[in-house]
């Protein structure tokens, strides 16, 4: 479908390389040593439960989660 110029919109696309996540030192279960890892919080359970913290190891790219 060809839309007129006035209806065309620019859409921003994000990939992993364009996003910056905070990092921390944590024990990677796969590397079995303390490494620097990216982390993020997400509410995966009921609102009255604490959020889940996800990690990604910068050395081996292993992803794991930690429940509070």
Burial class (CB in 10 A: 0-12, 13-18, 19+), 66: exposed
With 0.75 as the threshold, say if the pTM is over it. Answer: no
**pLDDT reported for residue 11:** 58
pLDDT string in tens for the chain (68-residue length):
555 665 556 655 545 555 678 999 999 999 999 999 999 988 888 888 888 999 999 999 999 999 87
The reply to whether 32 belongs to the active site is: no
The reply to whether 36 belongs to the active site is: no
**pLDDT reported for residue 17:** 57
Point out the catalytic residue in the list 10, 15, 32, 48: 48
């Amino acid at each position: 479908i060809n839309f007129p110029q006035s209806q065309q919109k620019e859409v921003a696309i994000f990939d992993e390389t364009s996003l910056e996540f905070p990092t921390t030192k944590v024990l990677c279960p796969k590397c079995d040593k303390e490494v620097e890892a990216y982390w993020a919080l997400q509410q995966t359970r009921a609102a009255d439960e604490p959020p889940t913290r996800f990690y990604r190891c910068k050395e081996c790219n292993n992803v794991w989660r930690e429940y509070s």
